[in-house]
């Protein structure tokens, strides 16, 4: 039989069984998101591998050199103590990125748990959880953060915990709305009929269908945590010396506007701007790649 005849006799694909492009293929189609991911990867590698790739040792001072503008020897110049500014920014990035990731993970976990329980249970549970969420939303975040840090101390653990306890509210409201729309779907009703517990329904049926929403909002949480931590450090309530973050560096250089040393203010701000933009670009790509409207339908895992 000829190849043409074999092709003609090959079974046609079943209707409705067209293979969807993989997540990575859909994500790659979002060029800006890919660029953002590359930028974030480079930032993470450079910051957390700073002991290996930084041009100078951390906190190495040259008081006779003092502050100098960018040059071939010091790409971003030096600060008031003659320290290489690129090295200082890389080490400060470790703190800023670590805080941002920790806050995003913790705030996402709290928000998803609160939102999922409130949305699925409904009734008085929903009312209580959402009123608590509203209370956190209406309180001025910066003022509350400053007061909390004054009480608990300005160390990294306190900063992460306080930022997470403020930042979970938006995720909770988003997840709650999604769960309310899913809880009466046929595959959830079927899980109830076969005896699945509430925990099984939430963690094996509901939350897997919210992966895209959670991923996108977690990316937003990372960007928000970087900005809030930078704002707090700029105001003097965040990371304290000898530890340094990008916001802390902005605070130290805030009085240099209009002087030849203004570059000490520009470079930390530039790193914050690039990081936040890259995170937002990746969030846009995740939203498009995980858009539930592009899927054949909600995933339903069988219970055992």
pLDDT at 91: 93
Predicted confidence (pLDDT) per residue in 269-280, tens digit = 899 999 999 998
Taking 80 as the threshold, does the pLDDT of residue 9 lie above it? no
pLDDT at 199: 83
Structural domain contains residue 6: no
User: Which CATH number characterizes residue 280's domain?
Assistant: 1.10.3720.10
Confidence of residue 43 (pLDDT cuts 50, 70, 90): very high
pLDDT at 293: 53
Confidence of residue 196 (pLDDT cuts 50, 70, 90): confident
pLDDT at 109: 92
Structural domain contains residue 303: no
Structural domain contains residue 18: no
Structural domain contains residue 106: yes
Predicted confidence (pLDDT) per residue in 242-269, tens digit = 788 888 888 888 777 777 788 888 899 8
Structural domain contains residue 2: no
In percent, how much of the chain has pLDDT > 70?
Answer: 88
Taking 90 as the threshold, does the pLDDT of residue 18 lie above it? no
* Peptide bond before residue 242 is cis, with ω within 30 degrees of 0: yes
Confidence of residue 158 (pLDDT cuts 50, 70, 90): confident
Predicted confidence (pLDDT) per residue in 93-143, tens digit = 999 999 999 999 999 999 999 999 988 888 888 888 888 888 877 777 777
- Total domains in the fold of the chain: 1
Structural domain contains residue 5: no
pLDDT at 126: 86
Taking 60 as the threshold, does the pLDDT of residue 173 lie above it? yes
Taking 60 as the threshold, does the pLDDT of residue 302 lie above it? no
Confidence of residue 6 (pLDDT cuts 50, 70, 90): very low
Confidence of residue 294 (pLDDT cuts 50, 70, 90): very low
Structural domain contains residue 200: yes
Which domain range does residue 281 map to? 25-56+75-294
pLDDT at 21: 65
d(CA 145, CA 150): 8
Query: Which of residues 83 and 4 earns the better pLDDT score?
Result: 83
């Amino acid at each position: 039989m000829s190849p043409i005849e074999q092709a003609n006799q090959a079974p046609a694909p079943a209707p409705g069984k067209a293979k969807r492009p993989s997540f990575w293929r859909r994500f790659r189609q979002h060029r800006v998101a890919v660029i953002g991911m590359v930028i974030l990867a480079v930032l993470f590698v450079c910051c957390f591998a700073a002991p290996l790739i930084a041009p100078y040792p951390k906190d190495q001072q040259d008081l006779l050199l003092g502050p100098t503008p960018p040059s071939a020897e010091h790409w971003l110049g030096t600060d008031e103590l003659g320290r290489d500014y690129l090295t200082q920014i890389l080490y400060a990035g470790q703190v800023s990125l670590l805080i941002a990731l920790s806050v995003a993970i913790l705030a996402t976990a709290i928000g998803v748990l609160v939102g999922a329980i409130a949305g699925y249970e409904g009734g008085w549970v929903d009312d209580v959880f959402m009123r608590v969420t509203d209370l956190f939303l209406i309180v001025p975040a910066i003022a509350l953060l400053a007061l909390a840090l004054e009480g608990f101390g300005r160390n990294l653990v306190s900063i992460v915990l306080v930022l997470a306890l403020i930042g979970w509210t938006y995720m909770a409201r988003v997840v709650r709305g999604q769960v309310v729309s899913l809880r009466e779907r046929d595959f959830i009703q079927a899980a109830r009929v076969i005896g699945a517990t509430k925990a099984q329904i939430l963690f094996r049926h509901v939350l897997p269908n919210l992966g895209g929403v959670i991923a996108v909002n977690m990316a937003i949480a990372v960007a928000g945590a970087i900005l809030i931590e930078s704002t707090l450090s700029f105001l003097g309530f965040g990371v304290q010396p000898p530890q340094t973050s990008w916001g802390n560096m902005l605070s130290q250089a805030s009085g240099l506007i209009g002087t030849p040393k203004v570059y000490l203010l520009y470079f930390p701000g530039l790193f914050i701007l690039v990081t936040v933009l890259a995170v937002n670009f990746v969030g846009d790509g995740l939203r498009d790649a995980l858009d539930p409207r592009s899927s054949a339908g909600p995933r339903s895992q069988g219970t055992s």
